[in-house]
Amino acid sequence: MLQYARRALFPAFLGFWILLAAVSVALAQSADPFENGWVLDSEASELRFMSIKKGNVAETNKFATISGLITPDGKAQIRVLMDSVDTKVDLRNVRMRFLFFETFLHPEATITVQLDPAQLTDLHVTRRKMVNVEYTLVLHGVSITKTAEVAITLISNDRVTISATTPIAVTLAEHNLEDGRTKLQEAANVDIAPLGVVSFDFVFDRSSPGTPPDATMLTNVVAPGSAALETKGNLDREACVGRFEILSRTGNIYFSAGSARLDAKSRPLLDNLYDIVNRCPDLNIEIGGHTDSDGSDVANKRLSERRAASVASYLQSKGISSARMVTVGYGEARPLVDNSTAQNKARNRRIEFSVIN
């Protein structure tokens, strides 16, 4: 009888201990969802965007370098290095960087959210919650604030995921990306929809007691190109030729009206150009100047020659041998579009680069 009683009581004791263990784990979870702060696990996290081209062809790409944190007071921020755009194709990455996102001017994007602790104090019990959050996206120099629903899942006391419950539409016009879309369409010879669809899965780990997240990770200066997914060191001929063709389409080399003096805002692109020329040491390049149709043919040809020479002089000052560069002024002879509008004239005033050997 005693043995039987023991056998009967054993499952009850086992159940009790399992229950006790479960309660202990639950109690170990803090009711303060932001205790110690959290740091993004960038390897486990993903930020994706989908674009639509040719009417019905969807392409999903991502960013390879992201960082982020949640402070003890609930402020969450994600930092995206735009040069890390990953389309799985080298020259497509370069097009996205230089023509669309203009990463030499806007090297990063940020997403900021102020989480409400009152909405999450029971997360250690529910384990998963759907929460509407107000977020601010700073992209291409433009700040937009909107609301989205996210799923917050507590995997363990020290690990949490935040995911979009539905894809988030980003209208290109809102972030001044329509010009970039036009350049991409011309470079790739495809139609691209005027919006992108963003989704994400962010994984955070809780910081150790007494060591809150280091906020400087979100404020350090970003060097354009530092996160680019490309071959380091010298580039092969195909990569060089493709990059020069892409740089020729940017339209980010500026001069005062009727002048060959480089505007200071041209430097970000010219510094990237120098980096590429420097990494193509076996190739000589032609720097071609082009103007709109205002003024005489002779004056425009001369102006285009001087502007091409100014770009060559800048590259030479950075260390590129003059023997590797040939400057040509084409004047108004090779317009990209007709000169019927101010916008078209601006596109025709340009500097182009090509390999000549």
Q: What is the pLDDT of residues 198-234, one digit of tens each?
A: 999 999 999 988 777 777 766 777 776 778 888 889 9
Cα 246 to chain center, whole Å?
A: 18
Q: Which residues contact 71 (CB under 8 A, 6 or more apart)?
A: 34, 37, 212, 213, 215
What is the number of alpha carbons within 13 Å of residue 65 lying toward its C-beta? 17
d(C-alpha 236, C-alpha 353), whole Å: 17
In the chain, domain spans: 31-218, 237-355
Instruction: Tell me which CATH homologous superfamily contains domain 31-218.
Output: Lipid/polyisoprenoid-binding, YceI-like (2.40.128.110)
- Cα 9 to chain centroid distance, Å, stands at 62
- pLDDT tier, 8 (very low <50, low <70, confident <90, very high otherwise): very low
352 alpha-carbon distance from chain centroid: 25
What rounded mean pLDDT belongs to the chain? 89
Once rounded to an integer, what is the mean pLDDT over residues 271-300?
96
Above 60 in pLDDT, residue 294?
Answer: yes
> Is 12's pLDDT higher than 90?
no
3-state secondary structure of 95: helix
- For residue 324, the model assigns a pLDDT of 97
Give the pLDDT band (50/70/90) at residue 105.
very high
pLDDT (0 to 100) of residue 10: 44
- Give the pLDDT of residue 15: 43
pTM passes above 0.75: yes
Run of H or E residues at 305: helix 297-318
What is the C-alpha separation between 230 and 88, in angstroms, rounded?
A: 10
Domain 237-355 superfamily per CATH: OmpA-like domain (3.30.1330.60)
Q: What pLDDT does 16 receive? A: 39
Region 308-329: mean pLDDT is 97
